[in-house]
Amino acid sequence: MVYHPDLAPLSYPPPESETGFTPLAIGWLSKLGTYTTGDTPEAFRANLLELCAKATVRYTFGYHFCELCGNEASYVITQVQYAGEELLLGNGEIWTIGKSVLYAAPTLIYHYVTVHNYQPPYEYIESVLTTEIDSAEYRDFIEQIDNL
């Protein structure tokens, strides 16, 4: 996966896309870059998993693997349990709305947080905690992102 520092503007979709905002990168980790570690609230981890399960956009044609695992496991598709079923990560993005900003993260962010102790910036954690995944407004928003 391509490394982007946290809170750096993503070069795709094009800046000032139809959303009117340039999305900021969160959780685009790689062995080549640095990242912050630390504890995250349980509610954040639960909401993050729910976003991965219910609100993935911009699906890829394959899966990205975790470069941080450092062994042959890095070539295995990352799987987690959600609602009693297997959920595969590394095949798309999740977007959240912050205070006048958009955040775009790979679905592998859940793995990074729970396995590698990655700690995203506080403002991203807050955006995940306040995102109303099942609201009509958020559903319309992710449909717009998926069509970029």
Q: Give the chain's mean pLDDT.
A: 88
Q: Is the peptide bond before 13 cis (omega within 30 degrees of 0)?
A: yes
User: Which residue has 């899966």 as its token pair?
Assistant: 63
Cβ–Cβ < 8 Å for 32, 66:
no
Position 98 pLDDT exceeds 60: yes
How many Cα atoms within 13 Å fall on the side-chain side of residue 15? 3
- Given this model, what pLDDT does residue 103 score? 95
In angstroms, the CA 63 to CA 125 distance is 25
- Given this model, what pLDDT does residue 49 score? 97
Please state the domain extents for the chain: 24-146
pLDDT tens across 54-92, in order?
A: 999 988 888 888 888 876 555 667 889 999 999 999 999
